[in-house]
Amino acid sequence: MATFYIKAAKKLTRKYATRDPERIAREMGITVLYVPMSRIYGLAASLGEYKIIGVKADLPEQAQKLVIAHELGHFILHPEKNSFMFILDHTFFYGKHEYQANMFAIGLRLGENLGQYEPVIKELAAGRVDRLISMFAK
């Protein structure tokens, strides 16, 4: 399961010597804001030279870290995009970029333990991000 996005996460982990996505974002010059949101868990925006990640403030800490990792995935994997939204509630569209950002987030957060979560990763491919969030919320 050594896909491009997992390799990119591993490279970032080595570069910053951590799996903590908030610390990586800070070191990359990306501002992380914890904001009240109702229908989305996170968003990432590039505004000129400024990069911002917004995270739903009332998520459990581990779920917030996963969302930050996901949004970092967009910045790393899809640098040509101007802004992104990680929409989880009430959406039936699950595109390639969302899948890739989720795989990046899993690789960043789990690293070498990735293999033991194979069934969850397959559900993720089918768009079951809610299950992934609940797994990290523990």
DSSP per position, 26-52: HHTTEEEEEE--SSEEEEEEEETTEEE
Average pLDDT over residues 22-33: 96
> Which stretches of the chain are assigned E, i.e. beta strand?
30-35, 40-47, 50-56, 83-87
* Domain range list for the chain: 4-136
Q: Which numeric CATH code is attached to 4-136?
A: 1.10.10.2910
Q: What would the pLDDT profile of 40-77 be if each residue is shown by its tens digit?
A: 888 888 887 889 999 999 988 988 998 899 899 989 98
pLDDT of 25 > 80? The answer is yes
Mean pLDDT confidence for 79-86:
58
Encode pLDDT of 98-116 as tens digits.
Answer: 777 878 888 888 776 666 6
Question: How does the average pLDDT of the chain come out, rounded?
Answer: 79
